[in-house]
Chains A and B, each alone.
Chain A
Amino acid sequence: MDEFEQATAYIPAEIKQVLTKLPDSLKSRVQEIRLRADAPVILSTPQGEWMVSQDGRQINYDTGNALICKKPEIEECFLMLCEYSVHTHQNELGSGFITARNGCRAGIAGAAVVENGRVISYRNITSIVLRVARRHDGCASELLSALAKDSYIKSTIICGEPSSGKSSLLRDLALQLSTGRSGRKWRTAVVDERGELSRNKTLGYCDVICNSPKAIGIQQAVRCLAPDVVIFDELGSAEETNAVLEGLNSGVSAITSAHCRDAESLMRRPPLAAALKSGAFELVIFLEGRSSPGKISRVMKARDILAENCWDGTNFSCRCFCGCGSIGITQPEGYLI
């Protein structure tokens, strides 16, 4: 079963039948399938977004023959993604996504159910964005020589915009490091908070901690699994970064990913800048973008990024944060610096 078919496995039969008629050349380029209640089905490709006609052709505009996703079909798709067990995906739903059994990940939009100020679930689902998870076997090969030193792996953040192949790169790194394809087998632990990295079981000989909050998972991995390297997805919030750094500054290398396009946008995100500042990460890899998933555009040393962005050893004094000139001291509450 190819990646497109895997993603459409959770789409109700009527829409799925039409999508299967699409030409293979288009299927192989689709990155996302967007379903919205009572709106045309949209396919996202690196070249742009397309609608689908009712007879299975790609079209630019809806001239009355576009394939429409009805509200009940959205609900059906949602339940299918949950394997008709919504309670099983409650934690993921709180973060606005579902990872299906075959590794396919779907973003969810609808009415948020809030409890004590936290989103715990969604109801009245109105949009589902199905990611077509593509395998890019070997995409980490060129990166390995940059990461692996004689006795350790350099801690690294892989940066890229959505759909730029960050997870694919992490997955391939986990596989190559743990199986020794790089020459040496590294004890590799994967903390897979969202279940996205490990769902299709391609991580070689990694120790995988699944569905655990990152900070707890990393600390557990460091304490109990004695890894050479810990791999985890999407370093984001300040709270999370704080806890993650606590777990990491303990002699274990870390490889993670982050949503940002370039060094400038990286430094504009206080938690990520703090992660660099802490010294926990040595290298930063930037990916080309959604037009060339998994392709590396630039490898930078963390200290070079800090220097470029006016890190004077105590404070940042540049446009990176709030523009106050001494971010290190005057960060809003909750930030690390």
Chain B
Amino acid sequence: MTYLETRIRYSGAPIYEILHQCIKADFGKLKFLKVSADLLAKGQKPEIAWKSAIKSCDDNGFTAQDRELIFSFGKDLGSSDIEGQINHCKTYRQLFQDRLKNARLEAQSKGRLYITLGIAGGMGAVLLML
């Protein structure tokens, strides 16, 4: 997000170019970026470009809510002036951070649950053997 904000403010390049720069920089793992950048460069509407991009990259471990958030971020990217775009990025940075925090908490609690289940299962198996 910081990268996007900086590029929007200082390069003034169109969104598809900024996305291509993102991919080259360090974000190549986010495959949907490339798909959406390519579609936007062809003049596709952002709604369609981002929807297709997210759909085409189902294997990246995002939940349905994550995908929805990425889509709503992408469809309004580029639709306003620089200040509007910076605010857009800031808002979504916060929303993505919240999602990340929740995902970490979930992973932590689920991790504990799986460990507890594993231990209980193991103890059960031992008891059965005895």
Chain A residues near B80 (CB-CB < 8 A): 86-87
User: With an 8 A cutoff between CB atoms, is A182 at the interface?
Assistant: no
Interface hits, B1-22 → A, CB 8 Å: 8, 12-16
Interface hits, B58-93 → A, CB 8 Å: 78-82, 84-85
Decide: A90 and B82 in contact? CB cutoff 8 A. yes
**What are the interface flags for A82-100 relative to B under an 8 Å C-beta threshold, 1 for contact and 0 otherwise?**
1111111010010000000
Q: A79-B79, A121-B81 are in contact. Are A87 and B43 (CB under 8 A)?
A: no
Decide: B79 and A83 in contact? CB cutoff 8 A. no
Chain B residues near A80 (CB-CB < 8 A): 43
CB of B47, distance to nearest CB on chain A (Å): 10
Chain B residues near A79 (CB-CB < 8 A): 78-79
CB of A119, distance to nearest CB on chain B (Å): 12
Interface size class of A (residues with CB under 8 A): 10 to 19
Interface size class of B (residues with CB under 8 A): 10 to 19
Among the interface residues A82, A84, A88, A90, which one has the most CB atoms of the partner chain B within 10 A? A84
CB of B119, distance to nearest CB on chain A (Å): 53
Chain A residues near B43 (CB-CB < 8 A): 80, 83
Decide: A90 and B81 in contact? CB cutoff 8 A. yes
Q: How far is the CA of A102 from the CA of B102 in the complex (A)?
A: 46
User: With an 8 A cutoff between CB atoms, is A37 at the interface?
Assistant: no
Q: Which A residues form the contact surface with B (CB < 8 A)?
A: 79-80, 82-88, 90, 93, 113, 120-121
CB of B29, distance to nearest CB on chain A (Å): 24
Decide: B14 and A85 in contact? CB cutoff 8 A. yes
User: With an 8 A cutoff between CB atoms, is B40 at the interface?
Assistant: yes
Chain A residues near B15 (CB-CB < 8 A): 83-85
Task: Report the 6 A-B pairs with minimum CB-CB distance, sorted nearest first.
Answer: A85-B14, A85-B78, A87-B82, A84-B78, A85-B15, A83-B14
Q: How far is the CA of A113 from the CA of B16 in the complex (A)?
A: 26
Considering only CB atoms, which chain A residue lies closest to B14 in the complex? A85
Q: How far is the CA of A205 from the CA of B12 in the complex (A)?
A: 26
Q: How far is the CA of A178 from the CA of B45 in the complex (A)?
A: 39
Chain A residues near B79 (CB-CB < 8 A): 79, 84, 86
Decide: B13 and A88 in contact? CB cutoff 8 A. yes
Considering only CB atoms, which chain B residue lies closest to A93 in the complex? B81
Could you list 16 examples of A-B contacts with CB < 8 Å? A79-B79, A83-B15, A83-B43, A84-B15, A84-B40, A86-B79, A86-B80, A86-B81, A86-B84, A87-B78, A87-B82, A88-B12, A88-B14, A90-B12, A113-B81, A120-B81
8 A-B pairs besides A84-B79, A87-B78, A87-B84 with CB distance below 8 A are A83-B15, A84-B14, A84-B78, A85-B15, A86-B81, A86-B84, A87-B85, A88-B12
Considering only CB atoms, which chain B residue lies closest to A94 in the complex? B81
